[in-house]
Amino acid sequence: MRKKYLLAPGPTPVPEVALLAMAQPAIHHRTSQFSGIFREAADLLKYVFQTREDVLILAASGTGAMEGSIVNLFSPGDEVIVVNGGKFGERWGKISEAYGLKVNWINVEWGKAVDPSAVKKVLDEKPNVKGVLVQASETSTTAAHPVKELAALTKGKDCLLIVDGITGVGVFDIPMDDWGIDVLVSGSQKAFMLPPGLAFAALSEKAWKFQETAKCPKFYFDFKKERKNLKDNTTAYTPATSLITGLRESLKLIKEEGLQNVFARHDRLARATRAASTALGLKLLAPDSPSNAATGVFVPEGVDGGKLVKYLRDEMGITLAGGQDHLKGKLLRIAHLGYVDTFDIITSISSIEMALSKFGHKVEFGKGVGAAQKILLEGYK
């Protein structure tokens, strides 16, 4: 007997109330019954995205919304800046290049946040740049980029700030309208506490203006068509009904907890995880600009991180994430976003302590847990 715990930076655990909603008998998508569910979910999405704009709901993974953000707003030959601080930054660039955009790469060391002055420099040098593409939270490195500062750079310019908020929206504060973000995208399997399968995208007025002249080819990810359908409480193509039914429930949970409380919870869990890691002598990958979605820590010298992740998952039932690319085998990524609370963090920290000891690393049992507990206590009156 081995219970399973999903503590990866997506997919994240799904609350029982959403699971039960999704387990209900299938309903037809062209019915008022479904339209009502859809409308409620679409309205609640605005609350979580902190925007007055429509939030498009796509049957796709987050990458679909990323692609849509490019093909609906730009034309081949357009010039963009891509902040490349990890796998997902790189993805912005790859999509852009696939559609013939000219990419100005700003490479950022993994684990670091982009320096806004580096972006400003390119913007100043190249007035033709039409967009800045960045992650709010770069999941591969567990670093957060300074979205607010970047938004200040594109404001008033003929240039869009396009933000991948896949592991950011609903995790920490990214007030789209207040900061002047032009495109904000996310996905269901993160702070939205659902299985994968839905992507979201919200566009500012300025972005919708860009849409009118964008010439990249598109069909499925046609945002204009989606916006029109959204007003009729549906999607252009068959909506993923069960996921949207679950979405309504998970959004209700977020609303009930209160967005600022959700952010505070993620912050508390993230600080507890970082304190626990440090207490155990594990070095953080992103100590200076950590994302509250997940915490990347280097595995100790002499421990094979790939085998450690596999051991935790297959022997202990704890699914964490490892490192990617050049950090493969060297990193553990411990998630704390979504339907995650105090004892999930205690579970992941204690399992890491136990697994490390199995790998021959000297561990003082309970030391990381103890460091986490002190911070986690803040969550209780």
Residue span binding a second copy (CB under 8 A) among the ranges 59-67, 169-177, 213-221, 337-345:
337-345
Residue span binding a second copy (CB under 8 A) among the ranges 81-89, 137-145, 238-246, 354-362:
354-362
Q: Is 351 in the site for a second copy (CB under 8 A)?
A: yes
Q: How many residues bind a second copy (CB under 8 A)?
A: 41
Q: Which positions from 69 through 88 interact with a second copy, judged by CB under 8 A?
A: none
Cβ at position 108, least distance to a second copy in Å: 33
Q: Is 175 in the site for a second copy (CB under 8 A)?
A: no
The nearer residue to a second copy, 52 or 374, going by C-beta atoms, is 374
Contact code string over 358-377 relative to a second copy, x by CB under 8 A: x-----xxxxxxxx-xx-xx
232, 288, 315, 325: which one binds a second copy (CB under 8 A): 315
Q: Is 250 in the site for a second copy (CB under 8 A)?
A: no
224: left (phi over 0), alpha (psi -120 to 50) or beta: alpha
Q: Is 38 in the site for a second copy (CB under 8 A)?
A: no
Q: Is 378 in the site for a second copy (CB under 8 A)?
A: no
Phi/psi of residue 144, nearest 5 degrees: -110, 140
123, 353, 356, 361: which one binds a second copy (CB under 8 A): 353
Please count the CA atoms within 13 angstroms of the CA of 114 that sit on its side-chain side: 30
Cβ at position 142, least distance to a second copy in Å: 22
Cβ at position 242, least distance to a second copy in Å: 16
Residue 229: how many other CB atoms lie within 10 Å: 18
Cβ at position 330, least distance to a second copy in Å: 23
The nearer residue to a second copy, 20 or 98, going by C-beta atoms, is 20
17, 152, 259, 354: which one binds a second copy (CB under 8 A): 354
The nearer residue to a second copy, 82 or 193, going by C-beta atoms, is 193
Q: Is 346 in the site for a second copy (CB under 8 A)?
A: yes
Q: Is 1 in the site for a second copy (CB under 8 A)?
A: yes
Q: Which positions from 2 through 31 interact with a second copy, judged by CB under 8 A?
A: 2-3, 5, 23
Q: Is 309 in the site for a second copy (CB under 8 A)?
A: no
Q: Which residues bind a second copy (CB under 8 A)?
A: 1-3, 5, 23, 253, 257, 261-262, 265, 315-318, 339, 341-344, 346-347, 350-351, 353-354, 357-358, 364-371, 373-374, 376-377, 380-381
